[in-house]
Amino acid sequence: MPEPASAQSLLQLIWLASPALPVGGFSYSEGIEAAVEWAGIDSEAKATEWLADQLHLSFARGDLALVAQAIPAWQANDAPRIRQLNEWVMATRESAEFFLQTEQMGRSFVEWLKLHHADTAEVFKDLPASYPVAFAFALSRSGATVHDGCLAFAFGWAENMVAAAVKAVPLGQSAGQRILARLANEIPAAVERAMKLGDDERQAFAPLLAVLSARHETQYSRLFRS
């Protein structure tokens, strides 16, 4: 068993995973709003399966795997590797909305980081960081292990997605908590898998999600930016 995180590291992870972090995550649904209209996500059961599939088929194999690789790259100050990973994120956003999301959240996250790490402006001076890469920087400074950092990143994603589902389907708060419980139970396995993926295995291919995101760009009377 890994050593438990120190109190300071644990608090840092809780803070980073918080949906209250001022980076705009609450304004994105990552396709679920479009899925409600065009993919029949109209119940707690369907929303649960949709998000569980998204966790394992898209998130774990893409951004979560990238964060697992970016944390040690930041710890080693490996600038070429960090830039390579950042370019991969930017190149694999399959819709204009997804590109906007990672760009805007990355920029906002860097602005927040400036309040906590004096060298943030210098570190990101020539790097327009995507959200996963900026988040990995914060994790690398938290004192937590890569494993625990990935758990925090995944749980933060899950909380945002459940909040979006509660609003978009719509669902009650108890239903949202049941969905979050399901995702929390499955996140450890997703993290274990993500940490084993190499560059050639990491991928962001989710055709239905990309189509729904593109359709969301012109969806009538929408709540979310993606």
Question: What single string gives the DSSP state of each residue in 34-63?
Answer: HHHHHS---SHHHHHHHHHHHIIIIITTTH
Which domain, by its residues, includes 80? 34-216
Closest CA to 98 of 195, 12, 5, 216: 216
Distance from C-alpha of 87 to C-alpha of 129, rounded to nearest angstrom: 9
Q: Is residue 137 part of a domain?
A: yes
Q: Per the structure, how many domains does the chain have?
A: 1
Q: Which pLDDT does position 222 carry in this prediction?
A: 87
Q: Is residue 58 part of a domain?
A: yes
Q: Is residue 14 part of a domain?
A: no
Distance from C-alpha of 24 to C-alpha of 10, rounded to nearest angstrom: 23
Q: Name residues of the chain where pLDDT drops below 70.
A: 1-5
Q: What is the CATH number of the domain that holds 174?
A: 1.10.4190.10
- How many Cβ atoms from other residues are within 10 Å of residue 140's Cβ? 20
Q: Is residue 15 part of a domain?
A: no
User: If DSSP codes are grouped into helix, strand and coil, which group holds residue 136?
Assistant: helix
Q: Is residue 20 part of a domain?
A: no
Q: Is residue 179 part of a domain?
A: yes
Residue 114 structure tokens? 């400036």
Q: Is residue 11 part of a domain?
A: no
Task: Mark residue 24 as left, alpha or beta (left: phi above 0; alpha: psi -120 to 50; beta: remaining).
Answer: left
Q: Which pLDDT does position 225 carry in this prediction?
A: 83
Residue 72 structure tokens? 């040690």
Q: Is residue 165 part of a domain?
A: yes
